[in-house]
């Protein structure tokens, strides 16, 4: 599990530093004032490829989907455990099918 955390941290830091080093500070400030994402700031650069603006949309949709699914499954798992624990404390036992 620690290896997975390390890989995630390294990949995020690589993305952040590569974006910061590839965009001039004036574009970063303009993007910050407009409230746009870093991928939108990259697509605003002169001579930026067309696929960059499309990839920003794809990344945003995937990120929102992952956020929703993570929250959804977390709530389901938490609610299931709360109900199981409450029922066990009350004395309700699971019925056997045999």
Could you read off the pLDDT of 48-96 as tens digits, one per residue? 888 887 887 888 899 899 999 989 999 999 999 999 999 999 888 777 6
pLDDT at 34 over 80: yes
Handedness of CA 23, 36, 66, 86 (dihedral sign): positive
pLDDT at 10 over 90: yes
- Measured at the alpha carbon of residue 5, what is the angle toward residues 15 and 1, in degrees to the nearest 5? 155
Handedness of CA 10, 58, 29, 19 (dihedral sign): positive
Question: What is d(CA 59, CA 62) in angstroms, rounded to the nearest whole number?
Answer: 5
Q: State the first-to-last Cα distance of the chain, in angstroms, to the nearest integer.
A: 38
Using alpha carbons, list the distances in angstroms from residue 58 to 26, 40, 62. 26, 12, 6
Q: What is the DSSP letter of 18?
A: H
The overall pTM is greater than 0.85: no
């Amino acid at each position: 599990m620690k290896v997975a955390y390390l890989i995630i941290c390294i990949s995020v830091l690589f993305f952040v530093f590569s974006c910061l080093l590839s965009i001039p500070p004036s574009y970063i400030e303009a993007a910050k004032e407009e409230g746009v994402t870093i991928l939108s700031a990259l697509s605003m650069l002169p001579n930026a490829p067309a696929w960059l603006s499309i990839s920003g949309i794809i990344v945003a949709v995937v990120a929102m989907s992952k956020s929703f699914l993570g929250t959804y499954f977390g709530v389901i798992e938490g609610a299931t455990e709360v109900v199981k624990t409450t029922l066990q404390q009350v004395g309700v036992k699971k019925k056997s099918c045999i």
